[in-house]
Amino acid sequence: MATSTTTTKAAVSKLDKAILSTEVNNHELLKLAYDSYLANSRAASAKTKTRGDVSGGGKKPWRQKGTGRARFGSTRNPIWRHGGVAFGPTGLQNFKKQLNTTAKHVALRQALSLADKAGKFVTIADVKTTGKTKDIVKLLADNKVDARRVLLVVDAKTPELIRASRNLENVELIRATYLSVFHILNADKIVMTNAAVAAVNEWLGGNK
């Protein structure tokens, strides 16, 4: 028999004080981490045809001298209609922005600290689902999570969890160790399981 999503009554965990007490003197590092995430997610999909890619132009349009017109060797010249594009995107652009590991971790701690002060966190013992969307809806309702953008953080994704959450427009499922400044700052509520909290504490807590 199928069972619906349940949350046990076990005590919930908390993020390490070393994470939540991180000071944010300015937002410069947060912005760098945010922009880095967007830049590294960007695909160089735009590509234009150069004069060597467009068709035609194999024949010189008119003789070099004696016509009174400017000399041209090919109708594929970029200044001609239907000619190639000069200095357009090639599809090989590299938009990546590198941020060292220490800076990334500090930015994540800052983002988590700000989220805690804003009251974004809702910690639950666990989440179990048979893969039904209504299970996640019930989970959020039981924990009084009614937000436009909900980040559901788990220690590991299962096929059932993915299937149950993917049709909910306001819910994004993510593994704890894949958290980013982008996800944290954009979420209105962050729902974390005990196992996810433990994973984040091991990853970012203490003296790390």
| Residue 5, pLDDT above cutoff 70 | no
Among 156, 163, 153, smallest CA distance to 132 is for 163
57: left (phi over 0), alpha (psi -120 to 50) or beta: left
Tell me, what's the pLDDT at 27? 94
pLDDT at 141 over 50: yes
State residue 11's pLDDT score. 67
Check residue 29 and report its DSSP letter: H
Query: Per the structure block, which two tokens stand in for 174?
Result: 């993510």
Chain length of the chain: 208
Assess whether pLDDT exceeds 80 at residue 48: yes
What pTM did the predictor assign?
0.80
Higher pLDDT, 188 or 5: 188
For domain 17-24+100-204, give the CATH number. Answer: 3.40.1370.10
- Ramachandran angles phi, psi of 79, nearest 5°: -85, 0
Q: Identify whether the C-beta of residue 157 lies closer than 8 Å to the C-beta of residue 177.
A: no
pLDDT tens profile 28-40 = 999 999 999 999 9
Write out the two tokens for 151. Answer: 């980040």
Task: Give 193 or 2, the one with higher predicted confidence.
Answer: 193
